[in-house]
Chain A
């Protein structure tokens, strides 16, 4: 599904986003930041889950390792963010590459469970690593940046740029030679291999890109919360959202996770403030279960069905008209 000119739309979104930081109060870009974080995670998850057909339950692990890469760098040399972000991408990309090799031996549920196990093992490592604060956690002190209204506004704009970049990459993958190969793997790995698709290499690309993207989403997290400890960095809600958003939006194209993330993310931020943060979690769970059971193609699928239905109705009506005429 191609939505009208992507790049102009992306540029406009970015400009509006930047402008908005000067007119709205702090709360909106804190909420906005979290929605965008979810969007990157969902987009990343979908590259493996939706395009390639491998379920990753360990998204929180990749996210947290991105965050901890920042913590390590901050503690060691406190480099600027444009160094931190690529570093997190590299670390988590390598982690993703490792997970990719798991696909050699593990399919389906076993792969999913292995990724979950991987996340918990990483969490324990961080809990026991004094350098990054262990179980207690580590503080990050941020400095004001020029031009932006506040540090959070700055992070919001950065996140917006990263989100647009991630979506653009997912969109590219979706429609490229690689994306077509991944779709073949998702449909039937054996048949894909026999059609000349180098399945292992493509799966490795898929897991690496997924890992790197999640690492990027996590890289700014320490600067956003200014305090990182394992329990919140490896939070299950990160993993659940990364799955729920694509499932709700629709997993077969790059658009689904974007729609799912914007929708679910906004609903979550709204309920968090207006009702309670527990209820917001309940909503995620209920929507996830509801969508996988009743609308497996997600919102995108529902929209396509609806479009097909209206087209049919219109044709039927036209048929009736010509019959009466």
Chain B
């Protein structure tokens, strides 16, 4: 059973999955990695993204990827609003640790329940011409429902990496959590920068949500499993390094794929969490540790 065929397909499937994970973790990489805001509700926002994409797909027949992209401004605005509340209620008063955590924990829960109230607990899926088709190269299977998310995720990750390293605002986002005051001394307003960054973080959730529902059917509590994955990826990736995030995502994707293929699907969910626990205990600075 340990054939080349199986091995290479598991590897490719893992890479495709990992690429998609990068899209899910990207927003958290900015929000948690750069801003030190523990948005534990990030996966819940991704699920919200899945459902708005589902809505436009069934009602208007929009392509899921396109819908995800079109919803980014709305999610951006939502992100700015959430950050403003968080800032006013917690960050400014210095209560971010315990109370801030509970705040996002509550938001996660509310999002999940609101979706259940509207759509119920059943699995939902989207339709597009390419879903269900598979590209075959030699012995390698490349199902489009994985390939499209992978390509979109790579494009988005590349775009964000470019934005962060090549624009003034992007660099300011990278700098804001390293030294807030120093950034202010450069003439930037840290609160504005953080609002922007949080907005961008949530905007990526709209696209990630679209990708999630292309890969397979989604139900409201799906986000919980992703909490471990995204935090494992961000922490393993070295808190906010985009390169690290991508690498960690691919690593987790491949590990899960291998465990799924060679050990059993029921163990796959624990992979990310085990990696997370190990990383936290053994090497908290991750692969690409921030200084």
Contact = CB atoms under 8 A, between A and B. Distances in A.
Decide if A and B touch, CB cutoff 8 A: yes
A3 B201 CA distance: 47
B103 A113 contact: no
Contact of A57 (B105, B274, B276): B105
Given A124-B267, A288-B102, A289-B106, A236 B95 contact: no
Contacts of A169: none
B65 to A, nearest CB: 30
Q: Which of B40, B110, B221, B274 neighbours the largest number of chain A CB atoms within 10 Å of its CB?
A: B110
Nearest to A113: B231
A309 interface: no
B228 interface: yes
A83 interface: no
B224 interface: yes
Contacts of A123: 269-270
Q: Which of B97, B102, B224, B269 neighbours the largest number of chain A CB atoms within 10 Å of its CB?
A: B102
A236 B266 contact: no
B284 interface: yes
A30 interface: no
Interface in B236-291: 264, 266-267, 269-270, 273-274, 276-277, 280-281, 284
Interface residues of A, number: 43
A128 B264 contact: yes
A97 to B, nearest CB: 15
B270 A281 contact: no
A319 interface: no
Interface stretch (B11-19, B112-120, B123-131, B181-189): B112-120
Interface in A243-264: 243-244, 247
Contacts of A127: 266
Interface stretch (A32-40, A102-110, A172-180, A193-201): A102-110
B280 to A, nearest CB: 5
A123 B276 CA distance: 15
B97 A117 contact: no
A289 B102 CA distance: 7
A225 interface: no
B89 interface: yes
A121 B270 contact: yes
A22 to B, nearest CB: 37
B228 A120 contact: yes
B154 interface: no
Interface in A111-141: 112-114, 116-118, 120-121, 123-125, 127-128, 134-135
Given A109-B97, A109-B101, A116-B227, 18 more contacts: A49-B98, A55-B98, A55-B101, A105-B281, A106-B284, A109-B38, A112-B38, A113-B38, A114-B280, A117-B277, A124-B266, A124-B269, A124-B270, A124-B273, A236-B224, A244-B102, A247-B102, A285-B110
Interface of B: 38, 40, 85, 89-90, 95, 97-99, 101-103, 105-107, 109-110, 112-114, 116-117, 221, 224-225, 227-228, 231-232, 235, 264, 266-267, 269-270, 273-274, 276-277, 280-281, 284
